[in-house]
Amino acid sequence: MPSFSPYKNMFLVLLFSGALLAISSSSWAAAWVGLELNLMSFIPLLSSKTNLLSSEAALKYFLVQALGSAGLIFSSSISFSAAPFFLLTISLALLLKMGSAPFHFWFPQVMEGMNWLHSTLLMTLQKLAPMFLISYLTTSSLCKISIYGAAICSALSGAIGGLNQTSLRKILAYSSINHMSWMLFSMLINETSWIIYFSLYSLIIISITILFASLQAYHFSDLVNLLNGVSSKTISVLALFSLGGFPPFSGFIPKWIVVQELILNLYFYALLLLLFCSLLTLYFYLRLSLYTISLSTPRNKTMISLNPGPSFLVMFTTFWNLFGIFMTSFLMILF
């Protein structure tokens, strides 16, 4: 992970402060201020004089977020003349800010220009405030319809969009869009289930990005060419299986919770769609994982001697992805 200079540490603190301000605000004006503080703190973290892709990603992210902020400001102008559409406009602007389908066009492209630390922030912290604000809108019937439609589009777009990808960052981007559909559907049921899902999903994403950052892997070809051999490849494949929700890995736990909630609240059609799209995501994870494990590149003795082993941090984060297996084995022994 790259080290931050003192002024970037300040921007990182402001990033968290903006998200907390937006979540805890009692008015939409204060929430807008929090979102803008969060945005203006994230742009300097992305900008880099040496990396043109990072600067391009920062510009794209700024333009999209500015469009979402413009939607929030526009909603205030129609709050008196067209009150029923006030909350609907806010929900659409927030869906654009968090990268939910059908407003997901910018998300994979911005992810492709970031390093793993910035990608982690984009997939976790930058989604936190918009998702909390959207959860406050579930009392409106029009907002419920928009959230339901966005969840359906996110499930399909995330599953289909990742089928032909070999870039690890784009795969995680489309996977994030797919996971967003699970959170949006659970948001329509109750607030606790989507918070649990988001928390567990964030832990899994952090563990995966730490792994890929330590291996300097950005494409599946990088995983094939790993000098670490079978151990690093296996850890990477198991991490992707956990992200896809393959039982009994840790990623299956939040999906299991949401499946139970959807069944109890009679969301059968939504559940069938989510399960079908999850099978699609598992398909391209399995296809690319078999490709990664089965292929290898020639190595000489010099390359092997320079081969570093997995760090303690990588092994510690890998334990979280395999926690579901350990818990299942413990329950089988216990009962």
Residue at 1 is within a domain: no
Q: How many independent structural domains does the chain possess? A: 1
pLDDT, position 201: 92
Residue at 107 is within a domain: yes
pLDDT, position 296: 58
The tokens describing 211, both together, are: 């792994």
Residue at 202 is within a domain: yes
pLDDT, position 131: 94
Beta carbons within 8 Å of 1's beta carbon, 6+ residues apart: 116, 117, 210, 213
pLDDT, position 121: 93
Q: How far apart are CA 38 and CA 16, in angstroms?
A: 7
Beta carbons within 8 Å of 198's beta carbon, 6+ residues apart: 127, 128, 131, 183
pLDDT of 300-310, one tens digit each?
444 443 344 45
pLDDT, position 49: 67
Q: How far apart are CA 15 and CA 12, in angstroms?
A: 5
pLDDT, position 287: 80
Query: How confident is the prediction for the chain on average, in pLDDT?
Result: 83
The tokens describing 276, both together, are: 């079908």
pTM tops 0.95:
no
Residue at 245 is within a domain: yes
Q: How far apart are CA 323 and CA 330, in angstroms?
A: 10
pLDDT, position 306: 38
Residue at 96 is within a domain: yes
Which residues constitute the domain of residue 141?
6-334
Tens-digit pLDDT string for the chain (335 aa): 455 577 778 888 999 999 999 999 888 889 999 999 999 999 988 876 666 788 889 999 999 999 999 999 888 777 766 667 888 899 999 999 999 989 999 999 999 989 898 999 999 999 999 999 999 998 888 899 999 999 999 999 999 998 888 889 999 999 999 999 999 999 999 889 999 999 999 988 988 898 888 888 888 878 777 655 566 777 778 888 888 888 878 888 899 999 999 999 999 999 999 999 999 998 888 887 777 777 655 554 444 433 444 566 666 666 767 766 655 555 445 54
Buried/exposed 172-184: b ≥16 CB within 10 Å, e otherwise: bbbbbbbbbbbbb
pLDDT, position 83: 66
Q: Please compute, for residue 330, the number of CA atoms within 13 A of its CA located in the half-sphere on the CB side.
A: 6
pLDDT, position 98: 92
Residue at 117 is within a domain: yes
Q: How far apart are CA 61 and CA 5, in angstroms?
A: 22
Beta carbons within 8 Å of 307's beta carbon, 6+ residues apart: 227, 228, 229
